[in-house]
Structure 1
Amino acid sequence: MKATQVLPPKINALEELFQVRKPIIGVIHLQALPGAPRYQGQPMRDIYAAAVADARTLSAGGIDGIIIENASDMPFRRPENIGPETVAALTAACLEVRGAVDTPIGITCVANGVVPALAVAKAVGARWVRANQWVNAYVANEGFLNGPAPEAMRYRSAIGATDVRIFADVHVKFGAHAITADRSIPEQATDAEWFDADVLIATGTRTGSPTEPREVQEVKSGTTLPVIVGSGLNPDQVPSLFEVADGAIIGQWLKRDGVWWNPVDPARVERLVAAVSRLRSGG
């Protein structure tokens, strides 16, 4: 049963941002940035050039949006420990991408650095940020994490970034859900909407792992917000997942050989966009 509307209705953020039905958002997984253990001192221009190359491939292939993520900064720091070197490099990378393509961009700053992501978004003109954990709390790889919504929403207001939308995961991947195990997925979706998210994300258990249509439907049953797939989409799954989902973020499958740290593969982008185009046209 659909959640009862308990808040003033919002505009549909997906329609506002992308102006297309069932938008597809491609991921740029940045190479390791300064301060991260895997950064080996390579010139920053090379890191930015790789990001720009991926952005151009995604944009030329018809992807509707691009989200930029410091995905190679493992092991990820807790949100309160994300340093200025990460924010500076992520900002510079986003500016390079913005200068190369017209496709709308968003930001993920891991692990769950929603406040830093909002700062970057304001600086570069990004349209949304992804919060891997928005409400409640769970045990992540980085330890016990609280949802940042109260602080993040006040920070967003303070820096004049209320036009930056919040894409929030529900039933977070890469973590244990023992703390919220007594709360259903629909209840957690309602919590995320109550704490003012704009788009909810149903995701798998790890990067690239499939998201089941049942999980998408469970999230949708607890919210009036758009719900998108956050992991594991490929062309064969488009019909089943897009029967219930309002769009998708896709990263790993679009990379050469399906490996997330490889460059974006233009042939894979073409295959995915073709599958989505057939669905949009009723095929």
Structure 2
Amino acid sequence: MHDIPYLKKVGPEIVSAMTAVATTIRKEVPSSLPIGVQILAGANKEALSVAHAANLQYIRAEGYVFGHIGDEGYIDACAGEILRFRKSIGASDVAVLYISLIETIKAATFFDTEGVILTGKETGDEVSAELFKEVESQKLDVPILIGSGVTKENVHQFMSAHGLIVGSYFKKQGKWKEDLDVKRIVDFMSRVDNLRNEATHG
């Protein structure tokens, strides 16, 4: 939230700061909970380096398959480069998850992504429940995660996903630039726990 407008190239100060933050978080969070990192814009090798150094479980990659134009300029596809780099630094245990649209999902799985993240058009935008169902119907061999727009009110639509990445809803007034709101976090997790209990016990 403090890195806009985005740069295509990030300096060593960003990598070192992200490593310090990630390492601190990993020490505080139980080892049973997976933690990932993304560095904008499209700094996938840097994110992989941070994840490897901080013992994180995954990165969220931008531009894994198919180059595209973003507000920061052209982002080139990186699947071949990132997978070779991952092997060269001994980070094969760090999963690469890709933000994907329905028409690129099969290409992403072909290029050995370890998961697909569905998002809205911008930060905090809700993912279409219809899109999620369509992706689920593809019966992919990789996990499907919801990466934006999840709220206490709509989380029931996405409980069958392999994971939820929640950001904006956990902030004050649901705005991504604001500070974390503990009450919103507690209310959300209470709702998730209730849904899990309902699914388990009927």
| Same fold? TM cut 0.5 | yes
Which aligned pairs between 1:125-136 and structure 2 lie closer than 5 A? 125-136=55-66
Give the equivalent residue in structure 2 for 1:96: 24
1 CA distance for matches of 2:28 and 2:141? Answer: 35
2 CA distance for matches of 1:109 and 1:254? Answer: 20
Q: Do 1:108 and 1:129's aligned partners in 2 also have CA atoms closer than 8 Å?
A: yes
**What SS class does the counterpart of residue 198 from structure 2 fall into?**
coil
For 1:209, which of 119, 125, 133 is the aligned residue?
A: 125
2 CA distance for matches of 1:165 and 1:135? Answer: 15
Cα deviation, residue 198, structure 1: 0.9
Cα deviation, residue 282, structure 1: 2.2
Which aligned pairs between 1:209-228 and structure 2 lie closer than 5 A? 209-222=125-138, 223-228=140-145
| 1:237 aligns to 2:144 (yes or no) | no
Give the equivalent residue in structure 1 for 2:97: 167
2 CA distance for matches of 1:214 and 1:226? Answer: 18
Give the equivalent residue in structure 2 for 1:82: 10
Cα deviation, residue 276, structure 1: 1.3
Show structure 1 runs of 5+ residues with no match.
Answer: 1-70, 172-184
Cα deviation, residue 95, structure 1: 1.7
Cα deviation, residue 219, structure 1: 2.9
RMSD: 1.6
2 CA distance for matches of 1:197 and 1:277? Answer: 30
Cα deviation, residue 204, structure 1: 0.2
Q: Which amino acid aligns with 1:148?
A: C
Give the equivalent residue in structure 2 for 1:139: 69
Cα deviation, residue 118, structure 1: 0.5
TM-score under structure 1 length normalisation: 0.66
TM-score under structure 2 length normalisation: 0.90
Q: Which amino acid aligns with 1:98?
A: R
Cα 1:146–1:220 shift into 2, 3 Å: farther
| 1:117 aligns to 2:47 (yes or no) | yes
Higher relative contact order (CA 8 A, sep 6+): 1
1 CA distance for matches of 2:135 and 2:13? Answer: 36
Cα deviation, residue 268, structure 1: 0.9
Q: Which amino acid aligns with 2:61?
A: A
Q: Do 1:212 and 1:241's aligned partners in 2 also have CA atoms closer than 8 Å?
A: no
Give the equivalent residue in structure 1 for 2:192: 276
* Per-residue Cα deviation, 1:248-283 (whole angstroms, up to 9, x for no partner): 101011012212132221111111111211221225
Give the equivalent residue in structure 1 for 2:113: 197
1 CA distance for matches of 2:41 and 2:13? Answer: 15
2 CA distance for matches of 1:106 and 1:237? Answer: 23
**What SS class does the counterpart of residue 154 from structure 2 fall into?**
helix
Q: Which amino acid aligns with 1:83?
A: G
Q: Which amino acid aligns with 1:128?
A: Y
Show structure 2 runs of 5+ residues with no match.
Answer: none
Cα 1:129–1:237 shift into 2, 3 Å: same
2 CA distance for matches of 1:238 and 1:167? Answer: 21
The aligned length equals 196
Cα 1:237–1:254 shift into 2, 3 Å: same
| 1:153 aligns to 2:83 (yes or no) | yes
**What SS class does the counterpart of residue 121 from structure 2 fall into?**
coil
For 2:3, which of 49, 67, 73 is the aligned residue?
A: 73
Cα deviation, residue 194, structure 1: 0.8
Q: Which amino acid aligns with 1:232?
A: G
